[in-house]
A and B are shown apart, each in its own frame.
Chain A
Amino acid sequence: MPRSPKPRPTWGGVPLDRRRILLGIAAIGGFLAVDLGAVAYAGGWIGTAHRLTPHIFIKAFEWVNGKQSGFRKNHAKGVAVAGYFDSNGNGREVSSAAVFRSGRTPVLGRFSLAGGNAHAADMLSTARGLGLAFGFPGGAQWRTAMLNLPVFPDNSPQGFYDRLLASKASPDTGKPDPQAMAAFLAAHPETAKAMKIIGQNPPSPGFADSTFRSLNTFYVISESGTRTPVRWSLVPVTPPPPRNSSGPNALFDALVRQIRSGPLQWTLMLTVGAPSDPLDDATLPWPADRRAIDAGTLTLTSIETEHPGNARDINFDPLVLPPGIERSDDPLLSPRSAVYAASYRVRAREPESPPAVNVDEVAL
């Protein structure tokens, strides 16, 4: 190419040199490729085709349940409760957490049914959830999300995801496709085994007489630094007689009537694991004879329709733990925390919808 007779272009008074321009473009291009490539990879725009992400869980809940605007993506149907925990000080033996000191800690909570449909009809067989936030929104807060099951059906996020997809109701029968569920169980023997244990422990008639369990293992840290694996549970204290309720909100209506007629109480038990016990597999029960520490009594005194400012707005992230309680290596814990956070973010920005359980509409 013949050299242009015109003067060379300049930038800031410096004549531009072709070699240097190319070098500059190469350096900037290389930097941007690495920088923006890293951002795209980390941000999940590329390379997420073969791995589960929180976003994929949110999409799956929506695929199974349809759009549930403003609701939790799982345990969508629920009701807010409040009360307090009276610690007897026994928990201090294994944990330095302030909540186990003798004394009272306020508690916000939420009863729920598993599943992403906020208007599903109550069924005895649906897993019942109890989320609790001890000392919300204080700095030594402890949150836990428990179920009325003896073990959790899954021991990995992939297992949970596959079960979620297999549980989608077929449009013809309104029930999960038996073939899909059979294929899932064949691929996940741990769930088949867990389901057997769950089947051997039929659910109680209602929320008030349910025992709720952490299912995942955690570590408690004593004043002297000793780490002890524990699973905790809430065991009902003389539950009131079941109320006759019927209809799509039968379980919740009964709960509303029970709390109105008097506080509901549970004993918080810290079950201490032995070295041989499974610490990272929530589908496996611990032997029944493990030592359990009675740490105190949870009393729930009030119940409210979910509304702004009550337990509706709490993410019962199982990893909001106070000093004195730590997570274990259970592979469900970090994914639970991540997916709960994604659900919280999504529902926070969605327009809210009226909840199915309206306490004021429950007749005495």
Chain B
Amino acid sequence: MANKRIELEQYKHYVDLLEEEPNRKTWRRGVLISLITAMVLVLAMLVMGMLSNSLAINPSNILQKPPAKSTSTPSQDTAVPSTNQIPTNQVPTNQLPNQSKAYNSPLAMSKALGVPLGADDGALIAQTTSTQPTVTVPSQTSQATTSNTKKSTGPGTQTKGVGNLSNLASGASGRGFQISLLILSLCILVLLYLPIRKARLEGKSK
């Protein structure tokens, strides 16, 4: 009897497992549900990241000052928003054409206004708040220098080098951000697969 007790003490873990077998089964199911849901979360983040590539490439997007609330409404005849959505890395520094000008195609309008094709009202791209028909957009370098001189109008400094997301996003022919997200997602999926596999193997061995 004493020997049996010692044996049970030594193999306490297994005794506990036997006692908790029904709970372990439920536990395994819970682990599977939770971790598969986590995988779905990872995939959702990956898809949303893929959709955000154009934003990630724009170096001024992350630290851009949000535009103040505007009460003006979009022009009815051209359907151009009053707050022009202008990514600074795509727009030349010359003046934009008059908004009342009719454009032959959406692509032409997109190029002329610097708005990415397909971007609708409220799209998450860099914005300026000018309500003037002609807008002069500063280049990236000039913006960086002005941000140092006019500290009250925006973020202190831009991130540089590896700290800047747009550097990564601009790499690999503009696919850097997407590739990095893909690699990271695969790593997490593998990491989540390991406990799932372990739980399933434990279930099969019972």
Q: Do A and B bind each other?
A: no
A residues lining the B interface (CB < 8 Å): none
